[in-house]
Amino acid sequence: MSGIQETEVQDEAQAGVLQDELAFHRYPGARPPDRQGQVDVFGVKIATYEWGAPDAPPVLLVHGALDFARTFDVFAPLIADGGYRVVSYDHRGHGDSSPAALYGWVADERDLLCVADAVSKQPMPVIGHSKGGSLLIHAIEALPHRFTRFACIDGMPFRSPHPDTAMHERRYMTPEVIAKWLDHRHVSPESERKPGELQALAARRARLNPRLSHEWLCYLVSKGAYEQPDGWRWKLDPAIRPGGFGVMRSRWMTDRLPGFPVPLLALFSTIDEPMGWDCKLEDLIGYLPASAQAIAMADTGHFIHIERPRQTADLILDFLRP
């Protein structure tokens, strides 16, 4: 594993896109990364993106499942303009990171920690959205000396009143589910994501995130998909699919929350949507440490930082500053 290897960011307007689609490569307030690079995590190339001055204090920003670092193109610059070097990355098999033979919780955490080590050898603050938030909670509970503060954007681990069914964990370990996953892995090397016009991919994503504007979703496609002669395809390894199975229990994290070792800001959505998160503030209020700041964002869906980028950034900047 080596440090971040940087390359110059090219002007995306020169990428040969069709003139009638060029407008979708821009979005009000969106700013492409100032630098791009990669971290070699034991042979898996993890793509990194940075906003802000290279000598500013670092902040690591972690996206959620089936997502990309470029979903932060509006939010990350707001944090960077607050005086930080914001570093995000694509999870393995997502975006411009390379596909891998193994996908799982522990593999994702290993990638996270290797990127963190490449960003800074000193303890630093971190921000996570959705699954990225839960990955960071688990990492911070295991290695509290590596982190100073944590802001979680709708990604706190869900705590069911019935421990054996938390996050449907038993269902994820049934023989039927495991067999379907293994069957999927057998055919995925020859598989491709379904193609479509740029706006068609945006419409597909809108079914999962109906609160996000068509213009934003088209912009997301232009960053999170690639174009071929037969259409656009999401930059997601076909081996990746929602859900999973394995020996992970959300209560391994939630039961340790009362003694969470670093200052915590937890933002919760209040509106359900298909590509959402199953945890609300009332689910965890009894587990949060007394020092935690917990805020339910009124009339806001899962992608809080996209729906309310300025408000979210201001809350987090106030929290990050000592």
Q: Could you give the domains of the chain?
A: 5-160+252-320 (3.40.50.1820)
Residue 165's pLDDT is what? 42
Task: Average the pLDDT over each of 100-114, 140-154, 238-252 and give the range with the smallest value.
Answer: 238-252
How far apart CA 14 and CA 256 sit, in angstroms, is 50
Stated length of the chain: 322
Q: Which of 145-149, 155-159, 227-231 has the highest mean pLDDT?
A: 145-149
For residues 280-307, average pLDDT = 95
Residue 15's pLDDT band, with cuts at 50, 70 and 90, is very low
Q: Which letter does DSSP use for residue 158 in this model?
A: P
How far apart CA 195 and CA 191 sit, in angstroms, is 12
Q: Which residue has the higher pLDDT, 78 or 23?
A: 78
Residue 171's pLDDT is what? 54
Contact by Cβ (8 Å): 128, 264: no
Q: Which residues of 57-94 are buried (b: 16+ CB within 10 A; e: fewer)?
A: ebbbbbbbbbbbbbbbbbbbbbbbebebbbbbbbbbbb
Residue 283's pLDDT band, with cuts at 50, 70 and 90, is confident
Q: 3-class SS at 139?
A: helix
Residue 322's pLDDT is what? 76
For residues 76-93, average pLDDT = 98
Q: Which letter does DSSP use for residue 94 in this model?
A: B
Encode pLDDT of 31-62 as tens digits.
999 999 999 999 999 999 999 999 999 999 99
**121 pLDDT above the threshold of 90:** yes
Task: Average the pLDDT over each of 16-25, 153-162, 265-274, 299-308 and give the range with the smallest value.
Answer: 16-25
**86 pLDDT above the threshold of 60:** yes
pTM here? 0.88
Place of tokens 């699919």: 241
Residue in 66, 73, 34 with CA at minimum distance from that of residue 216: 73
How far apart CA 14 and CA 320 sit, in angstroms, is 37
Task: Average the pLDDT over each of 13-17, 84-88, 170-174, 241-245 and give the range with the smallest value.
Answer: 13-17
Strands 5-7 and 85-89: unpaired
For residues 228-257, average pLDDT = 80
Contact by Cβ (8 Å): 97, 45: yes
Residue 168's pLDDT is what? 46
**178 pLDDT above the threshold of 80:** no
How far apart CA 59 and CA 120 sit, in angstroms, is 9
Considering the chain, what is the average pLDDT of its residues?
A: 87
Residue 41's pLDDT is what? 96
Strands 35-41 and 44-51: antiparallel
How far apart CA 118 and CA 254 sit, in angstroms, is 28
Residue 101's pLDDT is what? 86
Helix (H) or strand (E) holding 24: none
Residue 257's pLDDT is what? 92
Tokens (6 digits) for 273: 């949507």
Contact by Cβ (8 Å): 198, 221: yes
